């Protein structure tokens, strides 16, 4: 060590080094030493031959270069900046004992440090939040293989029944198997087409459900948009998976029955706690012993509620196939049960099917419903945006039929409204966590093996370095100058909708279809206004998450062509017509 530091002093202060370097690289010198010695006037002392002097210089130069190379290699890279950790516990107490939610504390730390990547040490686990698109791409594109696993946390372990699924399962054979099944059998383009009829049925039910409420004189036509949006998503995925929208009988007006209410509310409860900051995840000694923050109980209760409805359906269906009383495949459950290994035995166990179906439900209900609720709230406060979207629908689809999936690719303005909502109002502050499986360097920082990487959906989408007036809802920022199609994905991660890389969302087509269809049907079928008691929609985030603080309630007026479509049976009549109020038009 001492020798090297001496060399360091030498190399940094010795003014002869450039001269030696010149000598070393001088072609004349190397080609003809005799000439070089005379031209370069190298210092020679009496008794030392010019040849020896040149040899020593060369040796010294080589040693210096080697040292510089060694120094570059040996100098340990720094971790990203972050709060100073306490011994052993790191910054755990800071997150535990703050009144703020963990995600708000983390974003505040990043703002205070003016940093787009930081490292928070939580009892030895390095948690790395990121708000820079360039760095995010570095993680998920250039170093995708290293960051394609998930952390082992209690909420994911319970929800996935011991990691039998795709999204929540750390990398490995089980993840590969389940992802292959999803990509080729559940979410492929062909399967998407196969299930189109079921999705359209639900899009028609959505119109009926909202229409009934809009015509209800007792409520003045005010609709709870959150309920409509969440149940549309729940109905679609239940229909695609189980071939039915209701576990029980539903409601007379086409709305959810108690069973669906409990099902959807349990799904959202799981989503609220999945990967949320939980102290036992950082103190493995506490895991399954002390449920300090009560998360374990909440997740177990919610997963039991979901299982109560889904598992009997799955068991019964397996029995029907085994007994031969069902022979035709009609939905995704049939597909999963029917998958076989080479020897003819089932590819998936009943537990794998049960766990995977919970995950598919979770993946489907949250993003689309939240994006549409926020988008509509923003648009009601800016009626010109509503007008522009309606004008597009009238131009592309017309007024004698409802918008269909085949129209969606042409609805660039409607899609840009949805995309703007994904940017500004993501349902979750962070992407699903990624964990590193090896030491790596990202953006010049050392990222140790086992780090939890949290790409901030909030921070990316609202990054003022990337977006003009990031807090303004301005859908037109996503329109392309050449009029080409607006996609809801963003491969550059300037915003994080579906993410990218090995862990990227395999449900892009289904997710985009559901969200755009929900938005398009609500805008095409109804004119939306403030409820009579309000002067504007309060666009405030909830104190505990990123939902609108209060579910969006808005007055819906059916557009005139809608009743014509009902009367002429071009769309199925709503299940129950409420007492009609006078109908308006837009």
The annotated binding site for heme is made up of: 505
Comparing CB distances to ligand HEM, the nearer of 143 and 431 is 431
* Residue list, annotated binding site: 505
149 forms beta bridges with 435
Q: How far is the CB of 72 from ligand HEM (least distance, A)?
A: 33
Q: Which stretch binds ligand HEM (CB under 6 A): 119-127, 254-262, 358-366, 381-389?
A: 358-366
Choose the stretch contacting ligand HEM; rule: CB under 6 A; options: 80-88, 221-229, 357-365, 469-477. 357-365
Q: What is the DSSP string of 6-53?
A: HHHHHHHH-THHHHHHHHHH-HHHHH-HHHHHHHHT----TTS-HHHH
CB of 166 or CB of 390, closer to ligand HEM: 166
Of 556, 424, 550, 520, which Cα lies nearest the Cα of 232? 520
Contact between 283 and ligand HEM by CB under 6 A: the answer reads no
Minimum CB distance to ligand HEM, residue 241 (Å): 9
| 459 makes contact with ligand HEM (CB under 6 A) | no
SS3 536: coil
- Tell me if 241 contacts ligand HEM by CB under 6 A: no
Instruction: For 382-404, give the DSSP string.
Output: SHHHHHHHHHHHHHHT-SSS---
Radius of gyration of the chain (CA): 31
Closest distance to ligand HEM from the beta carbon of 473 (Å): 18
Cα distance between residue 42 and residue 20, in whole Å: 9
- State yes or no: residue 506 binds ligand HEM (CB under 6 A): yes
Q: Judged by CB under 6 A, which of 54, 497, 524, 527 binds ligand HEM?
A: 497
Of 169-198, binders to ligand HEM (CB under 6 A) are: 179, 182, 187
Residue in 174, 119, 148 with CA at minimum distance from that of residue 434:
148
- Determine, following the binding rule CB under 6 A, whether residue 583 of this chain makes contact with ligand HEM: no
Which positions ≥6 away from 45 have C-beta within 8 Å?
A: none
504 binds ligand HEM (CB under 6 A): yes
x/- map, 362-401, ligand HEM, by CB under 6 A: -xx--xx---------------------------------
Burial grade of 74 (CB within 10 A; 0-12, 13-18, 19 or more): exposed
Q: Is position 522 an interface residue for ligand HEM (rule: CB under 6 A)?
A: no
* Separation CA 244–CA 548 (nearest Å): 30
Q: Is 442 in the site for ligand HEM (CB under 6 A)?
A: no
Whichever of 425 and 503 has its CB closer to ligand HEM, that residue is 503
Four-residue CA torsion sign, 284, 356, 489, 397? negative
Token couple for 154: 């209690």
Site string for ligand HEM, 304-343 (x = CB under 6 A): ----------------------------------------
Which of 352, 354, 348 shows the shortest CA–CA distance to 304?
354
CA 385 to chain centre: 26
Site for ligand HEM in 59-88 (CB under 6 A): none
- Is residue 500 within 8 A of residue 506, CB to CB? The reply is no
243 phi-psi bin (left φ>0, alpha ψ -120 to 50, beta other): left
Q: Which stretch binds ligand HEM (CB under 6 A): 359-367, 401-409, 471-479, 526-534?
A: 359-367
Q: Which positions lie near ligand HEM, rule CB under 6 A? A: 166-167, 179, 182, 187, 360, 363-364, 367-368, 431-432, 496-499, 503-507, 510-511, 515
């Amino acid at each position: 060590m001492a020798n090297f530091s001496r060399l360091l002093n030498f190399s940094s202060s010795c003014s002869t080094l450039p001269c030696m370097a010149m000598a070393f690289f001088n072609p004349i010198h190397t080609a003809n030493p005799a000439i070089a010695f005379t031209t370069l006037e190298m210092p020679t002392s009496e008794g030392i031959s010019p040849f020896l002097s040149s040899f020593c210089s060369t040796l010294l130069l080589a040693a210096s270069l080697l040292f510089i190379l060694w120094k570059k290699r040996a100098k340990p890279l720094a971790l990203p900046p972050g709060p100073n950790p306490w011994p052993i516990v790191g910054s755990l107490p800071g997150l535990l004992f703050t009144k703020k939610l963990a995600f708000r504390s983390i974003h505040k730390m990043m703002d205070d440090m003016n940093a787009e990547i930081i490292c928070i040490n939580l009892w030895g686990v390095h948690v790395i939040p990121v708000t820079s698109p360039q760095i995010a791409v570095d993680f998920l594109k250039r170093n995708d293989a290293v960051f394609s696993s998930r952390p082992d946390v209690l909420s994911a372990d319970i929800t996935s029944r011991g990691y039998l699924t795709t999204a929540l399962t750390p990398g490995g054979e089980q993840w590969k198997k389940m992802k292959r099944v999803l990509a080729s059998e559940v979410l492929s383009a062909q399967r998407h087409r196969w299930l189109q009829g079921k999705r359209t049925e639900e899009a028609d039910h959505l119109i009926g459900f909202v229409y009934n409420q809009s015509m209800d004189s007792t409520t003045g036509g005010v609709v709870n948009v959150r309920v409509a949006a969440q149940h549309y998503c729940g109905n679609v995925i239940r229909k695609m998976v189980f071939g039915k929208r209701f576990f029980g009988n539903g409601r007379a007006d086409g709305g959810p029955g108690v069973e669906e209410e409990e099902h959807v509310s349990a799904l959202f409860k799981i989503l609220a706690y999945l990967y949320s900051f939980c102290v036992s995840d950082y103190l493995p000694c506490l895991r399954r012993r002390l449920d300090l923050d009560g998360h374990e109980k909440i997740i177990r209760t919610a997963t039991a509620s979901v299982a109560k409805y889904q598992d009997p359906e799955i068991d019964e269906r397996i029995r029907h196939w085994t007994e031969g009383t069902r022979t035709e495949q009609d939905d995704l459950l049939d597909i999963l049960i029917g998958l076989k290994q080479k020897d003819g035995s089932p590819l998936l166990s009943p537990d794998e099917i049960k766990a995977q179906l919970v995950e598919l439900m979770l993946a489907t209900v949250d993003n689309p419903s939240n994006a549409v609720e926020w988008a509509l709230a923003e648009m009601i406060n800016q009626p010109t945006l509503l007008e522009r979207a309606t004008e597009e629908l009238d131009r592309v689809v017309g007024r004698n039929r409802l918008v269909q999936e085949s129209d969606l690719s042409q609805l660039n303005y409607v899609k840009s409204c949805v995309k703007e909502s994904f940017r500004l109002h993501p349902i979750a502050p962070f992407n699903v966590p990624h964990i590193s499986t090896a030491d790596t360097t990202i953006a010049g920082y050392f990222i140790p093996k086992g780090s939890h990487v949290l790409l901030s959906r909030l921070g990316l989408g609202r990054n003022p370095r990337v977006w003009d007036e990031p807090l303004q809802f301005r859908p037109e920022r996503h329109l392309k100058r050449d009029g080409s199609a607006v996609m809801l994905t963003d491969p550059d991660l300037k915003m994080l909708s579906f993410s990218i890389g090995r862990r990227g969302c395999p449900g892009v087509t289904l997710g985009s279809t559901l969200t755009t269809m929900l938005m398009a049907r609500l805008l095409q079928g109804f004119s939306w206004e403030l409820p009579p008691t309000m002067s504007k929609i309060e666009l405030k985030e909830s104190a505990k998450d990123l939902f609108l603080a209060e579910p969006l309630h808005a007055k819906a007026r059916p557009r005139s062509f809608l009743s014509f479509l009902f009367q002429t049976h071009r769309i199925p009549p709503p299940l129950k017509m409420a007492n009609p109020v006078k109908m308006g038009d837009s």
